[in-house]
Homo-oligomer: A and B are copies of this chain.
């Protein structure tokens, strides 16, 4: 049961844009695309992005400084994320592999650290790009 978050006006505009986009979007590209809807300043974009990340509707692809809609309906928060990134065409997908997730969520080592969150990015060539 996923908590229903009532997105605010700006949050909804920005989420819809990212959700419809084919790939990850960068903050200033988002800004450019929503200016006709009245969102004029970077900060308005970043605030919405922060909130959307916080509630798990989108994730940040750290190595790309870009944002993608959650492709995994069970992600309530962005605290256990795995992505595959094609280094040629820059296509990004969210991987949901329960065995991998379980393995990572249960990971612990001798450092005494308590891990509450992780982000994993796999890089390589997608099917299309491999065959070129």
Contact = CB atoms under 8 A, between A and B. Distances in A.
A113 B127 contact: yes
A86 to B, nearest CB: 7
A4 interface: no
Contact of A126 (B84, B107, B113, B121): B113
A118 B118 contact: no
A115 to B, nearest CB: 4
A2 interface: no
A123 B119 CA distance: 8
Contacts of A86: 113
Interface of A: 62-63, 84, 86-87, 93, 95, 97, 100, 103-104, 107, 109, 111-127, 130
